[in-house]
Homo-oligomer: A and B are copies of this chain.
């Protein structure tokens, strides 16, 4: 949509958005860059610099309209464009993601889950079916899905990834700790939970 916003800025955009939702709940109509910055512990000029990318002006001496800023952020982050996805693996993590309301709000539409456990197959999670993994290839094609969210045990991660690539999945959001091998046309995004913890532990948690 817009011409390239750096990843780091996209990350901050979601935090700004979350703060704006709070302000709306509290009925506050104006917000300033120092207010946002203080809330996040960052520099206020960074907030304003990020906003340049939104091409949306504030009001000098006043700040920004909470409502307009929120809508501009949503447009920029592409909330409008729905993206369909499958969840692969119906363990606790898969189920947690299947029930995560926020996804729909942010434009990510989970159509179904897949698992190889006969006890789970054909169950329903909210309005989402759990299919046997053997049905994947068929459904990827029929429903034209190209995003998979991978939550299987680490030991099966590569095997299942090969299946996904073969079925025609183009984007894998990887919640397993495995470093996946994929053909060049497939993109992987690693949600490395352990790495996040270690970063946290390393930065903040002294003995």
Q: List A residues at the B interface (Cβ < 8 Å).
A: 5, 7, 10-11, 13-15, 18-19, 22, 39-40, 77-78, 81, 83, 91-93, 95-96, 99-100, 102-103, 106-108, 147, 154, 171, 173, 177-179, 181, 187, 189-205, 207
Contact = CB atoms under 8 A, between A and B. Distances in A.
Given A22-B179, A192-B15, A205-B83, A198 B93 contact: no
A10 B198 contact: yes
Contacts of A22: 179
A99 B93 CA distance: 10
A119 to B, nearest CB: 17
Report the copy number of this chain in the oligomer: 2
Contacts of A96: 91-93, 95-96
Contacts of A147: 205
Contacts of A191: 193, 196
Nearest to A153: B101
